[in-house]
Amino acid sequence: MAAVADRYDAFILDVWGVLHDGVTLYPGVVDTLERLTAAGKPFVMLTNAPRRSSAVAEAMISMGMPEKYCQRILSSGESTFLDLRERSDPFYASVGNRFLHIGPERDRNLFDGLDWDEAQQVDDCDLVVNTGPWEDGETVADYEDLLQQGAAMALPMICANPDLVVIRGGREIICAGSLALRYEEIGGSVRWLGKPKAEIYEYCFRELADFDKPRIAAVGDSFRTDLAGAANAGVAPIFVAAGIHVGELGGWPPDRLALDGLAAKWSARPAAAIPAFVW
């Protein structure tokens, strides 16, 4: 980060794949945040975690992240909570009040305080809220019957985490985005909340209101969500090569042809690439 920090005045930081692997903070992360702070470079953390922002902060603090660095976080889960609470989008005009939750117990704080009724079966709900698989290690195929039933009933789905896969403690697991993508493939309707949608970046811009977009950079490891999202939002994408694409790119320095291919596929060319979020 030392090579790029002076080019920008503020940063939007991805969390999973940049700061930690779901279990452990990456080496050098706290030192890098300390150096950014000392240099007067404010940052906001923006994550596709399908949980409330407070839960994301608590998880990072338990990994050893200083609490002072967890004050400005927005998760796609928080965005989903607000979306469900307000119901202001036309998407909700014909949606009833009963939802089915697909996702693990750890995501259930998403529904605390909401005026919705939870259903236990797909044939008894008006809306599917998808935060990911119920258990790590499951596959999209494990959900095929449920997804087919929901699509046949024309049930709308909210996807609270557009990521397709994530590396948790060195193991690849599917995310809500994989289930939502399959749902769309079989004719289901999905409302995607989180990166790469430009709307979720508005929170960051409110927090970084003193800075012009060309002077803000977004650091992330996924072309599909982080870099495409940065491009959609009008800020500079900085690519972390040690994240989700490491297998495709062959380590550091990344394979140039493969990197160019990803940039073209997602219409998001990095302003810079770094091996990891270290100083």
> Are 163 and 212 contained in the same domain?
no
Nearest CA to 160 among 221, 90, 79? Answer: 79
Which of 173, 192, 211 lies at the terminal end of a domain, its last residue? 192
Q: Is there a single domain that holds both residue 164 and residue 103?
A: yes
Residues 102 and 43 placed together within one structural domain of the fold:
no
pLDDT tens-digit profile, the chain (279 residues):
999 999 999 999 999 999 999 999 999 999 999 999 999 999 999 999 999 999 999 999 999 999 999 999 999 999 999 999 999 999 999 999 999 999 999 999 999 999 999 999 999 999 999 999 999 999 999 999 999 999 999 999 999 999 999 988 888 999 999 999 999 999 999 999 999 999 999 999 999 999 999 999 999 999 999 999 999 999 999 999 998 998 899 889 999 999 999 999 999 999 999 999 999
Domain CATH code at residue 212:
3.40.50.1000
- Write down the pTM of the prediction: 0.94
Domain assignment present for 73:
no
Residue numbers of the domain that contains 269: 5-48+196-274
Straight-line distance from the first to the last Cα atom of the chain, in angstroms, rounded to the nearest whole number: 5
Does residue 62 lie in a domain region?
no
3-state secondary structure 181-199: HHHHHCCCCEEECCCCCHH
Do 143 and 162 sit in the same domain of this protein? yes
Q: What pLDDT, on a 0 to 100 scale, did the predictor assign at position 33?
A: 99
Number of domains the chain is built from: 2
Domain assignment present for 65? no
Whether 59 maps to a domain, the answer reads no
- What's the full length of the chain, in residues? 279
For residue 230, being part of any structural domain is answered with yes
- pLDDT at residue 7 in the model: 97
Q: Do the domain assignments include residue 63?
A: no
